[in-house]
Amino acid sequence: MADLKRRVPMHSLRYFISMVGLFSKSGLLPWYARNPPGWSQLFLGTVCKGDFTHVIATKCQKGQKSQKKPSHLGPLDGSWQERLADVVTPLWRLSYEEQLKVKFEAQKKILQRLESYIQMLNGVNVTTAVPKSESLPCLLHPIIPSPVINGYRNKSTFSVNRGPDGNPKTVGYYLGTWRDGNIVCVRSNNLKNIPEKHSQVAQYYEVFLRQSPLEPCLVFHEGGYWRELIVRTNSQGDTMAIITFHPQKLSQEELHVQKETVKEFFIRGPGAACDLTSLYFQESTMTRCSHQQSPYQLLFGEPYIFEELLSLKIRISPDAFFQINTAGAEMLYRTVGELTGVNSDTILLDICCGTGVIGLSLAQHTSQVLGIELVEQAVEDARWTAAFNGITNSEFHTGRAEKILPGLLKSKEDGQSVVAVVNPARAGLHYKVIQAIRNCRAIRTLVFVSCKLHGESTRNVIELCCPPDPAKKLLGEPFVLQQAVPVDLFPHTPHCELVLLFTR
Task: Give the residue ranges of the annotated binding site for S-adenosyl-L-methionine.
Answer: 323, 373, 423
* Distances 83 to 28, 93, 178, 220, 224 between C-alpha atoms, Å: 20, 12, 17, 26, 28
Pick out the residues of the known binding site: 323, 373, 423
Instruction: Give the DSSP letter of residue 272.
Output: G
Q: How far is residue 276's CA from residue 232's CA, in Å, rounded to a whole number?
A: 10
Cβ neighbours of residue 159 closer than 8 Å, sequence gap 6 or more = 171, 172, 173, 174, 185, 228
Give the torsion sign (CA, 377, 310, 488, 187).
Answer: negative
Q: How far is residue 327's CA from residue 427's CA, in Å, rounded to a whole number?
A: 25
Q: Residue 153 in 3-state DSSP?
A: strand
Write out the H or E segment, with its range, that includes residue 100.
helix 96-120
465 catalytically annotated: no
Catalytic pick from 353, 451, 465, 466? 451
| Residue pair 335/500 in contact by the 8 Å Cβ criterion | no
**What's at 258, amino acid-wise?**
Q
Residue 334 burial (CB < 10 Å; 0-12/13-18/19+)? middle
- Which residues are catalytic, by number? 451
